[in-house]
Structure 1
Amino acid sequence: MEDVIIIGAGPCGLSAAIECQRQGLSVRVIEKYNVVHSIYLYPTHMQFFSTSELLEIGDIPFVTPADKPFRHEALAYYRRVASHYNLRINCYEEAVSIDRQQDGTFIVRTRTRSGEDLEYAAEHVILSSGYFDHPNILGIPGEETDKVTHYFREAHPYTGMKVAIIGGSNSAVDAAMELIRVGAEVTIVYRGEGISSHIKPWVRPIFEAMIEKGRIQMRTSSRVTSILPDRVIIESLQDGTTTELANDFVLALTGFRPDRKLLASAGVEMSEDMDKPVFNPETMESNIRGLYIAGVVASGRNANEVFIETGRGHGKLIASHITSIRNTED
């Protein structure tokens, strides 16, 4: 029997594990892939919006040459933190269900990469799963073909290619900036009327200059309605007219959504507000006693509501609540 099982070894899950361990609780972390898998899925050369200080967990300094660290620096940092605290992390093991028992404890059932089914008992469970496994699907013809991806890693494979980027977030802008450096012909197709106000301020002027110079084409108030082997069909949201654009690859950078299967299996209620799980913001406890929410899964469909710098504090709230309950029961 564990005191706490944490599902998800992202920064917020690791932070929760550290805070619980500091309170003398036995902790096991279950991770479907590798440690901080969501960060691993970021573009290879991505630079964070946040400063390194805002990404720190467990009181371990995150020292970088620049104010805003890069992906590879974050991966090294979180590996070091996990090792420093000797966290017990079961990587490449997927949690498939959470069942609360009559005595108030939980059974967490998992499946390993080899197909072995395991189960663990725990007094408390913290669900801190990410959202990068589940891209927002457009539901348009051709989206399932191999010329389309919802993940951008690096620009090299697209050298000299005609690439359409669907979306207008920082990920779309970063991808476009990298792609033009390798000679790709880039067109951004975005539903918004103009460039998003959330673009990184140090990137925005350079991006706008590339548009003005014609290095990047941008179709605002538009959407892709069909993806064909050698072209895409683009519809104007202003007048409904359509145009065809020659195309080799499509990057559908339309965001991601949290997985709801585990929440549903445990009986966690969802609010009508952006499909958020119901929880107490002071303790992060859900409507199921002893089951807590941490990290981006608390944000519902609005995955941009919770970042590492805010979600990393969830673990301290949870650990304090568990400790206070134990002290009361003693």
Structure 2
Amino acid sequence: MKDQNHYDIIIIGAGPIGMACAIEAKKANLSYLIIEKGALVNSLFNYPVFMTFFSTSQKLEIGGVPFVTINPKPNRNEAVEYYRRVAEKFDLNINLFERVIEVEKNESAIFKIKTAKENYTSGNVIVATGFYDVPLLMNVPGEDLPKVTHYYKDPHLYAFQNVLVVGANNSGVDAALETYRKGANVTMLIRSEELGPHVKYWVRPDIENRIKEGAITAHFHSQLLEIREGEVDIQTPEGIKTIPNDFVIAMTGYQPDFSMLRKFGIDLPESLCPVYNEETMETNIKGLYLAGVVCGGLDTHKLFIENSRVHAEMILKNIVGK
């Protein structure tokens, strides 16, 4: 009798790349299950509501399903809807809101996967968990206060408030501009001497002009020292300044869940870039693969949806070839 909880492939993560892997598994007539700790495309769901992608819609497509939008670049809401429709079209086998706790390989070369809800076995495991789950902390006093967030979503919350935005890449610039336009008094705190090099080209003139005219205050070569209920201390080239503050939006970046990768037995050198075969995406553990932006380690600007979609085909080609 066939074990109903055994699959040819278990895919951890229901983001675009995890879904792409499932589509390829389905094409190869292999049994599979996607296990996702949150909602479908959970990272995209947690993106800012009005975020616009840098990529065109064509470069975000998976499974050969057209991503149609009337805008030059799709936004977060369009992407969430697109991937939901893709999941429906392929009738993907997905367990949502189920966290993977353990992945172990037994003596028979079978993986045992334990989740918060169930136990499974599989011949192969694909980790496609992205990097959005673990924010890079500032490690300053007061960072744990409720008014501090590392996940900015909707600017309305910050209307008519004193807002400090930490960071000067796309997420920080978007948060600063959107909250400013909802009436917030916005201050940006930037470690370097200029805005991030990857700021979207159509947004850069906007933020530069707002800073130039003084609508948004920007402190370059500066850092946050302490957060308190009604104010913050910042270190600037002119010395320490205390400014009124209601909210801190810390857009300091994110990283893969390295503790999870180590727990699975994946080699992580000092660079924290996981070890894997770049032709097959297989890790040091046979049958355990990495897919998507999780492969980049701390270099989260290295891989995107558009240039990691190919991982799905590479992995399934290797699995089928075995």
Q: TM-score range by the shorter chain?
A: over 0.9
**Can you give the 5+ residue segments of structure 1 that lack an aligned partner in the other structure?**
113-117, 326-330
| CA deviation map 1:128-159 (0-9, x unaligned) | 11222211111100100011111111111111
Q: Which amino acid aligns with 2:222?
A: S
2:49 touches 2:154 (CA, 8 Å); kept in 1?
yes
- Of 89, 94, 97 in structure 2, the residue corresponding to residue 89 of structure 1 is 94
| CA deviation map 1:90-112 (0-9, x unaligned) | 00000011000111110110013
Q: Which amino acid aligns with 1:79?
A: R
2:189 touches 2:218 (CA, 8 Å); kept in 1?
yes
- What is the aligned partner in structure 1 of residue 3 from structure 2? none
Q: Which amino acid aligns with 1:298?
A: C
Counterpart CA distance in 2 for 1:222 and 1:68 is 33
Counterpart CA distance in 2 for 1:210 and 1:45 is 19
Residue 6 of structure 1, CA deviation:
0.1
3-state DSSP of counterpart to 2:99: strand
Q: Which amino acid aligns with 2:14?
A: A
| CA deviation map 1:1-37 (0-9, x unaligned) | 2100000000110011111211111110000001100
3-state DSSP of counterpart to 2:269: coil
- What is the aligned partner in structure 2 of residue 115 from structure 1? none
3-state DSSP of counterpart to 1:93: coil
Residue 65 of structure 1, CA deviation:
0.6
Counterpart CA distance in 2 for 1:111 and 1:161 is 40
- What is the aligned partner in structure 2 of residue 253 from structure 1? 251
- What is the aligned partner in structure 2 of residue 262 from structure 1? 260
Residue 260 of structure 1, CA deviation:
2.2
Residue 186 (str. 1) matches residue 191 (str. 2): no
- Of 36, 39, 48 in structure 2, the residue corresponding to residue 31 of structure 1 is 36
Q: Which amino acid aligns with 2:289?
A: Y
Counterpart CA distance in 1 for 2:299 and 2:18 is 19
| CA deviation map 1:59-116 (0-9, x unaligned) | 000000112001110000000111111110000000011000111110110013xxxx
| CA deviation map 1:242-262 (0-9, x unaligned) | 111111110011011111233
1:149 touches 1:250 (CA, 8 Å); kept in 2?
yes
- What is the aligned partner in structure 1 of residue 279 from structure 2? 282
1:98 touches 1:262 (CA, 8 Å); kept in 2?
no
- What is the aligned partner in structure 1 of residue 313 from structure 2? 316
| CA deviation map 1:191-234 (0-9, x unaligned) | 01111221100011111111111111110110001001111111
1:99 touches 1:265 (CA, 8 Å); kept in 2?
no
- Of 227, 240, 243 in structure 2, the residue corresponding to residue 242 of structure 1 is 240
**Higher mean C-alpha deviation, range 11-20 or range 281-290:** 11-20
- What is the aligned partner in structure 2 of residue 12 from structure 1? 17
- What is the aligned partner in structure 2 of residue 148 from structure 1? 148
The CA RMSD over aligned residues, in Å, is 1.0
2:102 touches 2:264 (CA, 8 Å); kept in 1?
yes
- Of 45, 53, 63 in structure 2, the residue corresponding to residue 48 of structure 1 is 53
1:210-225 correspondence runs (5 A) = 210-225=210-225
Counterpart CA distance in 1 for 2:94 and 2:192 is 42
**Can you give the 5+ residue segments of structure 2 that lack an aligned partner in the other structure?**
1-5
2:113 touches 2:119 (CA, 8 Å); kept in 1?
yes
Q: Which amino acid aligns with 1:82?
A: A
Counterpart CA distance in 1 for 2:91 and 2:42 is 18
- What is the aligned partner in structure 2 of residue 80 from structure 1? 85
1:100 touches 1:266 (CA, 8 Å); kept in 2?
no
Q: Which amino acid aligns with 1:86?
A: D
Residue 264 of structure 1, CA deviation:
1.7
- What is the aligned partner in structure 2 of residue 304 from structure 1? 301
- What is the aligned partner in structure 2 of residue 163 from structure 1? 163
Counterpart CA distance in 2 for 1:245 and 1:164 is 9
3-state DSSP of counterpart to 1:72: helix
Q: Which amino acid aligns with 1:272?
A: E
1:100-179 correspondence runs (5 A) = 100-112=105-117, 118-179=118-179
3-state DSSP of counterpart to 1:251: strand
| CA deviation map 1:34-61 (0-9, x unaligned) | 1100000000111111100110000000
2:169 touches 2:197 (CA, 8 Å); kept in 1?
no
